């Protein structure tokens, strides 16, 4: 297996000396397990029995007919235990941490999916965990907070900065600077200082491998693979077997938010990102002329992040991955479309990929196929989507709930 520290000029390990020894140790153990059969046997057993792998690969027949272009397939990664691809990486890293003799796990979370996955993996494998979550995200993702606590994780609200995912990463890094001797920091996306981008990709590459074998099995002619990109862990895993090949087209969809103004979106690759070193890695970021990180917006907390994984940024520069964006409202339309036509509930993050797939498939011939990675499922978004799509009914329901409670 391959592991890289730099991807073109991106990546690297830009951390204070205090974190260097623990990253060195982590890298060493990661290199050890790459060729350790026992590790992968255990990982695969848990992936089957606990996560529910392989996740389904659905021919979206109704959607395909309705659109009338390329055949649409959906990798239903969101059907994995805990509702998103995040569990693949969480399980891998918790197993690794146990091998290193770590006694505690810390993690950051944005949408809460990585937090939930980490909390579940820690519950399963018997390690206590602390999850850092921005106060803004806590407000919009209350259900996931509840789940993390149910799995017995400690959730620490982050009250500084923009109080979102990036600040949760900073809070976790600060914890780690004082706790690394017995604590593993479980980064949830394919970013941060090396070895994290390569390690997270390794654990997420199972998505792409399963897709690849389905492509052969079904003998489909894939024109494009489409994934949403926040930090990019689902995309890099989904794309991984195809990055060094010339086809199919690999398309990353960023959060177009509500507009192209500052603070209205999280599109780094479609023109507005600039080179930076933030949170331990070099990549493209949304920042001002002084290098101060800019606020971002997305209806999906999981895409609401100013940076992008270094390998994804690199393949954007080489042109291997094409980047585009979908707006908040396009994502919501895609959510409705696939719910109605396929009985499939996309997470708002993944619905960004769904939205672009609908547009692209329409212009492609019928003998071609597009594959969408539905990285998460949308149950967690109900407090956003129900409020948005059926405001009166939802608010009435909430009122009733409160008044029942207050009786």
Partner 1 sequence: MKNKLVCHLIANYPDFDQSLKIAEALASGGAESIEVQFPFSDPSADGPYILKACDEALKAGFTVDKGFSLVESIIKKTKLDVYIMSYANILLTMGIEKFVKKSKASGVKGLIIPDLTLNNDDGLLNSGRKYGISIIPVLTLTTPLKRVDEILFREPEYIYAVLRKGITGKSTIITEENITFLKYLSGKKAKILGGFGINSRDQVKALTPHLYASVAGTVFVKKIDEGGEDILPDLKTMVKELTTDEL
Lay out the sheet containing 183-185: strands in order across: 154-158, 129-134, 104-109, 183-185
Task: Pick between residue 69 and residue 306 the one whose CB is nearest to partner 1.
Answer: 306
Task: Pick between residue 5 and residue 42 the one whose CB is nearest to partner 1.
Answer: 5
Task: Pick between residue 21 and residue 365 the one whose CB is nearest to partner 1.
Answer: 21
Do 153 and 130 form a contact (C-beta atoms < 8 A)? yes
Shortest Å, Cβ 169 to partner 1: 8
Binding marks (x or -) toward partner 1, 17..56, rule CB under 8 A? xx-xx-----------------------------------
Question: Residue 319's CB: how many other CB atoms inside 10 A?
Answer: 7
Quick one: which of 48, 139, 160, 382 contacts partner 1 (CB under 8 A)? 160
Shortest Å, Cβ 277 to partner 1: 4
Quick one: which of 231, 276, 302, 309 contacts partner 1 (CB under 8 A)? 276
Number of residues interacting with partner 1: please give it, by CB under 8 A: 34
Task: Pick between residue 126 and residue 178 the one whose CB is nearest to partner 1.
Answer: 178
Shortest Å, Cβ 291 to partner 1: 3
Residue 366 among the catalytic residues = no
Q: Residue 215 phi/psi, 5° resolution?
A: -60, -45
Cα–Cα distance for residue pair 39/35, rounded to 1 Å: 9
Quick one: which of 13, 86, 265, 314 contacts partner 1 (CB under 8 A)? 13
Cα–Cα distance for residue pair 275/99, rounded to 1 Å: 36
Choose the catalytic residue: 29, 77, 86, 282: 86
Nearest-10 Cα torsion for 397, 399, 402, 407 = -110
Shortest Å, Cβ 255 to partner 1: 19
Do 355 and 326 form a contact (C-beta atoms < 8 A)? yes
Shortest Å, Cβ 89 to partner 1: 21
Shortest Å, Cβ 90 to partner 1: 22
Residue 162 among the catalytic residues = no
Rounded (10°) angle between helices 86-99 and 113-125: 40
Choose the catalytic residue: 27, 29, 77, 108: 108
Task: Pick between residue 88 and residue 170 the one whose CB is nearest to partner 1.
Answer: 170
Quick one: which of 78, 115, 230, 280 contacts partner 1 (CB under 8 A)? 280
Strand-pair category, 321-327 with 249-257: parallel
Residues 6+ apart with CB under 8 A from 392: none
Region binding partner 1 by CB under 8 A among candidate stretches 225-233, 281-289, 296-304, 338-346? 281-289
* Long-range own/partner contacts, residues 41-48 (CB < 8 A, 24 or more apart): 42/95, 43/91, 43/92, 43/95, 46/91, 46/95, 46/124, 47/88, 47/91, 47/206
316 binds partner 1 (CB under 8 A): no
Cα–Cα distance for residue pair 230/306, rounded to 1 Å: 8
Quick one: which of 3, 4, 14, 128 contacts partner 1 (CB under 8 A)? 14
Binding marks (x or -) toward partner 1, 167..186, rule CB under 8 A? x--x--xx--xx--x-----
Residue 86 among the catalytic residues = yes
101 binds partner 1 (CB under 8 A): no
What part of residues 286-315 is at the interface with partner 1 (CB under 8 A)? 287, 289-293
Binding marks (x or -) toward partner 1, 357..396, rule CB under 8 A? ----------------------------------------
Shortest Å, Cβ 16 to partner 1: 4
Distances (CA, A) of 49 to 43, 52, 78: 10, 6, 16
What part of residues 212-271 is at the interface with partner 1 (CB under 8 A)? none
Residues 6+ apart with CB under 8 A from 260: 267, 272
How many residues are recorded in the chain? 407
Strand-pair category, 71-75 with 57-59: antiparallel
Shortest Å, Cβ 290 to partner 1: 5
Catalytic site positions:
86, 108, 375
Contact residues for partner 1 (CB under 8 A)? 12-18, 20-21, 160-161, 166-167, 170, 173-174, 177-178, 181, 274-280, 282, 285, 287, 289-293
């Amino acid at each position: 297996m391959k592991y890289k520290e730099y991807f073109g000029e991106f990546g690297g390990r830009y951390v204070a000396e205090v974190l260097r020894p623990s990253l060195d140790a982590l890298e060493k153990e990661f290199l050890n397990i790459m060729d350790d059969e026992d590790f992968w046997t255990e990982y695969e057993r848990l992936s089957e029995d606990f996560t529910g792998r392989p996740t389904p690969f659905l021919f979206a027949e109704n959607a395909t007919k309705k659109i009338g272009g390329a055949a649409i397939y959906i990798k239903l990664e969101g059907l994995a235990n805990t509702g998103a691809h995040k569990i693949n990486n969480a399980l891998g890293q918790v197993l690794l941490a146990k091998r290193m003799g770590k006694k505690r796990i810390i993690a950051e979370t944005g949408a809460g999916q990585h937090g939930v996955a980490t909390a579940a993996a820690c519950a399963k494998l018997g390690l206590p965990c602390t999850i850092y979550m921005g106060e803004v995200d806590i407000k919009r993702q209350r259900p996931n907070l509840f789940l993390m606590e149910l799995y017995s994780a400690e959730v620490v609200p982050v009250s500084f900065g923009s109080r979102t995912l990036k600040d949760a990463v900073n809070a976790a890094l600060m914890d780690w600077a004082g706790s690394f001797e017995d604590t593993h920091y479980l980064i949830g996306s394919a970013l941060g200082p090396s070895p994290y981008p390569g390690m997270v990709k390794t654990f997420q590459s199972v998505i792409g491998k399963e897709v690849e074998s389905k492509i052969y099995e079904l003998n489909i002619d894939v024109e494009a693979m489409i994934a949403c990109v926040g930090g990019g862990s689902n995309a890099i895993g989904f794309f991984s077997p195809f990055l060094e090949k010339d086809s199919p087209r690999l398309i990353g969809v960023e959060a177009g938010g509500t507009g192209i103004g500052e603070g209205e979106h999280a599109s780094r690759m479609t023109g507005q990102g600039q080179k930076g070193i933030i949170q331990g890695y070099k990549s493209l970021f949304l920042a001002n002329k002084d290098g101060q990180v800019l606020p971002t917006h997305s209806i999906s907390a999981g895409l609401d992040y100013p940076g992008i994984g270094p390998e994804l940024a690199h393949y954007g520069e080489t042109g291997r991955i094409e980047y585009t964006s979908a707006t908040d409202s396009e994502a919501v339309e895609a959510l409705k479309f696939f719910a109605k036509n396929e009985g499939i509930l996309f997470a708002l993050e993944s619905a960004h990929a769904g939205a672009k797939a609908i547009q692209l498939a329409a212009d492609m011939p019928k003998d071609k196929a597009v594959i969408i990675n539905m990285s998460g499922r949308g149950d967690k978004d109900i407090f956003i989507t129900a409020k948005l799509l059926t405001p009166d009914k939802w608010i009435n329901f909430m009122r009733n709930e409160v008044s029942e409670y207050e009786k």
